[in-house]
Amino acid sequence: VGVPVRTWLSRVSRRRPADPSELVSTEDALLQQLAESVLKIDCATELRVHLANSLPLPSNANRPRIDLIVFVINLHSKYSLQKVEESLNHVDSSFFLGKVCFLVTGAGRESHCSVHQNTVMKLAHTYRSPLLFCDLQVESFRAAMAQRLVRVLQVCAGHVPGISALNLLSLLRSPENPPSKEL
């Protein structure tokens, strides 16, 4: 599940606002590592990462607005795909205008894959959202992906002047029907 980036405007006193993002996946270890990589990025705004195994989130009064949801699917686990598909039903449609993306891991070890890459490509296409591939277990790849996510997050939170989440989404869309693999 993606990492939504939330902005934490109201609570923090006049400091640069925090960007909360939501990472949703069944794979706790991967999420934890990715969240740590994201937080290591030295950006001007305050980042907050929420980790969840599935949506909807438990009802909690004081949750700030989410800016980006990243759904993390492990190709080695049909269960992770199933949970993401179930969670998608609980996402408000406004998020699909550039505030959702899919992050797929495990594509490198084909013999361990029980989910076909086409399945996730179709899923991303159905929800008109970008699909990213990354081997989250490799530190350097994870750090590079974390940087990308932070950039996307900043756009979604409205911190990059002149470009909105919807702009970014249409930039990412490839001219042919299948969505592009690379950001």
Partner 1 sequence: MDENVAEFLRRIILKIPLCEMKTILEAWDFLSEDQLQSINLKQRKEFLAQEVILLCEDKCASLDDMALLDLMYTQFHRHQKLWNVFQMSKEPGGNDVDLFDMEQFQSSFKRILQRALKNVTVSFRVYEKNSVWIRVAWGTQYSQPNQYKPTFVVYYPQTPYVFISSCYLKSTVPLLHQALKVASKHHQMAQLDLRSRHLDSLTAIVFNEYDQTFENYNSTASWREGSLGLKTDLDSKIIHENTEEKVRIHRATQEAFGAYPQPQLEFAQYKLETKFKSDVGGGILADRKEPLRCLVKFSSPHLLEALKSLAPAGIADTPLSPLLTCIPSKKMNYFKIRDK
Nearest to 150 by CA among 67, 55, 72: 67
Of the candidate residues 17, 37, 45, 47, the single one contacting partner 1 (CB under 8 A): 47
Separation of alpha carbons 85 and 63, rounded Å = 23
Tell which positions 15-34 bind partner 1, by CB under 8 A: 22, 25-29, 32
Of the candidate residues 51, 107, 113, 183, the single one contacting partner 1 (CB under 8 A): 51
Shortest spacing between CB 60 and partner 1, in angstroms: 8
Tell whether residue 142 is a contact of partner 1 (CB under 8 A): no
Token pair belonging to 97: 């205008």
Task: Please provide the DSSP assignment of 142-154 as one string.
Answer: HHHHHHHHHHHHH
Residues in the chain: 183
Nearest to 24 by CA among 99, 93, 97: 99
Shortest spacing between CB 168 and partner 1, in angstroms: 24
Shortest spacing between CB 46 and partner 1, in angstroms: 8
Shortest spacing between CB 19 and partner 1, in angstroms: 10
Tell which positions 80-119 bind partner 1, by CB under 8 A: 80
Instruction: Give the relative orientation of helices 117-126 and 78-88 as an angle to the nearest 10 degrees.
Output: 10
Q: Let me know the angle formed at the C-alpha of 154 by 148 and 156, rounded to the nearest 5 degrees.
A: 105
Of the candidate residues 5, 49, 104, 157, the single one contacting partner 1 (CB under 8 A): 49
Of the candidate residues 9, 54, 97, 119, the single one contacting partner 1 (CB under 8 A): 54
Nearest to 145 by CA among 58, 71, 38: 38
Residues in contact with partner 1 by CB under 8 A are: 22, 25-29, 32, 35-36, 39, 46-54, 57-58, 60, 77, 79-80
